[in-house]
A and B are shown apart, each in its own frame.
Chain A
Amino acid sequence: AQKVTQAQTEISVVEKEDVTLDCVYETRDTTYYLFWYKQPPSGELVFLIRRNSFDEQNEISGRYSWNFQKSTSSFNFTITASQVVDSAVYFCALNNAGNMLTFGGGTRLMVKP
């Protein structure tokens, strides 16, 4: 069975602060894929990143960066210099080849001006 845990239900920061959203996963598979999705107030889930289990290289995309640590089964997401537009619910998710996506419970990020 697969499981994804996002321990932080809600985070509130002031604009320009850095913030890290935690994600811990459980799976028995050796090949699996990790994702982050963003859900703005408008409701749709927007795909942010995909990582496969063989690629532990961290990734940076603008103000976003992801830290994949297989040893601790974590796939954390950091937003640098947060902005009000970053306010959203963020979901971490996991699947293995052919299986359905398992989502974490989500972290609501509020960035205050």
Chain B
Amino acid sequence: EADIYQTPRYLVIGTGKKITLECSQTMGHDKMYWYQQDPGMELHLIHYSYGVNSTEKGDLSSESTVSRIRTEHFPLTLESARPSHTSQYLCASSEWDSGSGANVLTFGAGSRLTVL
């Protein structure tokens, strides 16, 4: 059973619309992430957060913005969607495993966005 939830799973919208992709996790993880996945499969980190009120840009420049007002919630917003934003967006969260020293990410099911 998923502990990280993304809505909507699928969204088709017209150019210029504002959209928000929701991501919530019930595991109390401090770190959260947004990845954009090309149709060609590659995953690119676009945003991450170390905790409440912390947001950072990832490796891939993105016109989207994020917020982290609550630990469990990390929404992603596009103010004016364009066809180039068509992609799958994957949300993830993680906590530090002090035993192994590793940072294991748990992913949501993804939001597939199509902008016409």
Interface residues of A, Cβ cutoff 8 Å to B: 31, 33, 35, 37, 42-47, 50, 52, 89, 91, 95, 97-101, 103, 105-106, 108
Contacts and interface: CB of A to CB of B under 8 A. Distances in A.
B41 A106 contact: yes
B42 A106 contact: yes
A44 B103 contact: no
A80 to B, nearest CB: 24
A43 B39 CA distance: 12
B109 interface: yes
A101 to B, nearest CB: 6
A97 B102 CA distance: 7
A108 B41 contact: yes
Contacts of B109: 42-44
Contact of B2 (A33, A44, A91): A44
Interface residues on B, range: 20 to 34
Nearest to A9: B41
Contacts of A46: 107
Contact of B102 (A33, A44, A45): A33
List 7 tightest A-B contacts by C-beta distance, closest first.
A45-B107, A43-B110, A106-B41, A44-B109, A33-B102, A103-B43, A50-B102
B110 A44 contact: yes
B66 interface: no
14 contacts: A31-B101, A37-B107, A43-B90, A44-B108, A44-B109, A45-B90, A45-B107, A46-B107, A47-B106, A50-B100, A50-B102, A50-B104, A95-B102, A98-B103
B19 interface: no
